Amino acid sequence: MNIKPLIIGDLIAKVPIIQGGMGVGVSLSNLAGNVAKNGAIGVISAAHPGYMEEDFEKNTLAANLRGLTKHIKKAKEISLNGIIGVNAMVAMNNYIEHVKTAIEAGADLIISGAGLPLNLPEITAGSSIKIAPIVSSAKACKLVLSYWKKHFNRTADAVIVEGPLAGGHLGFKKNNLDNDIVNFDKYVSAVIEEVKNFEKDFDKKIPVIVAGGVFTHEDMMRYLNLGASGVQMATRFVATHECDAHPNFKNAFVNCKKEDIELTISPVGMPGRAIRNKLTETLKTQRVKITKCYDCLIPCNPGTTPYCISSALIKSVKGDVENGLVFCGGNAYRIDKLLYVKELIDEMMGQSLAQPEIII
Ligand X SMILES: Cc1cc2nc3c(=O)[nH]c(=O)nc-3n(C[C@H](O)[C@H](O)[C@H](O)COP(=O)(O)O)c2cc1C
Residues within the interface to ligand X (CB under 6 A): 20-23, 26, 45, 47, 87, 89, 113-114, 134, 162, 165-168, 211-214, 232-235, 238, 327-329, 331
Nearer Cβ to ligand X, position 138 or 238?
Answer: 238
Nearer Cβ to ligand X, position 23 or 207?
Answer: 23
Q: What torsion do the CA atoms of 99, 104, 109, 110 make, to the nearest 10 degrees?
A: 0
Contact 28, 49 (CB under 8 A): yes
State in angstroms the smallest separation of the CB of 292 from ligand X. Answer: 20
Nearer Cβ to ligand X, position 235 or 305?
Answer: 235
Instruction: List phi, psi (to 5°) of 149.
Output: -65, -45
Nearer Cβ to ligand X, position 290 or 344?
Answer: 344
For 218, other C-beta atoms within 10 Å of its C-beta total: 10
Nearer Cβ to ligand X, position 105 or 170?
Answer: 170
Nearer Cβ to ligand X, position 114 or 224?
Answer: 114
State in angstroms the smallest separation of the CB of 153 from ligand X. Answer: 26
For 302, other C-beta atoms within 10 Å of its C-beta total: 12
List of E strands, 265-306: 272-275
State in angstroms the smallest separation of the CB of 156 from ligand X. Answer: 15
Nearer Cβ to ligand X, position 79 or 331?
Answer: 331
Nearer Cβ to ligand X, position 39 or 330?
Answer: 330
State in angstroms the smallest separation of the CB of 358 from ligand X. Answer: 25
The residue among 222, 244, 263 whose CA lies nearest residue 67 is 244
Q: What is the side-by-side strand order in the sheet with 168-169? A: 168-169, 272-275, 261-264
State in angstroms the smallest separation of the CB of 71 from ligand X. Answer: 14
C-alpha to C-alpha distance for 34 and 236, rounded to whole angstroms: 14
Nearer Cβ to ligand X, position 32 or 233?
Answer: 233
The residue among 296, 274, 292 whose CA lies nearest residue 283 is 274
State in angstroms the smallest separation of the CB of 152 from ligand X. Answer: 22
Which residues, 6 or more positions from 290, have their beta carbon under 8 angstroms from its beta carbon? 302, 305, 307, 308, 311
Contact 264, 283 (CB under 8 A): yes
> Position 238: which residue type?
V
State in angstroms the smallest separation of the CB of 113 from ligand X. Answer: 4
State in angstroms the smallest separation of the CB of 112 from ligand X. Answer: 8
State in angstroms the smallest separation of the CB of 215 from ligand X. Answer: 7
CA distances from 322 to 67, 222, 304 (A): 26, 36, 23
β-bridge mates for residue 275, sequence order:
261
Contact 333, 255 (CB under 8 A): no
The residue among 90, 209, 198 whose CA lies nearest residue 152 is 198
β-bridge mates for residue 209, sequence order:
160, 230
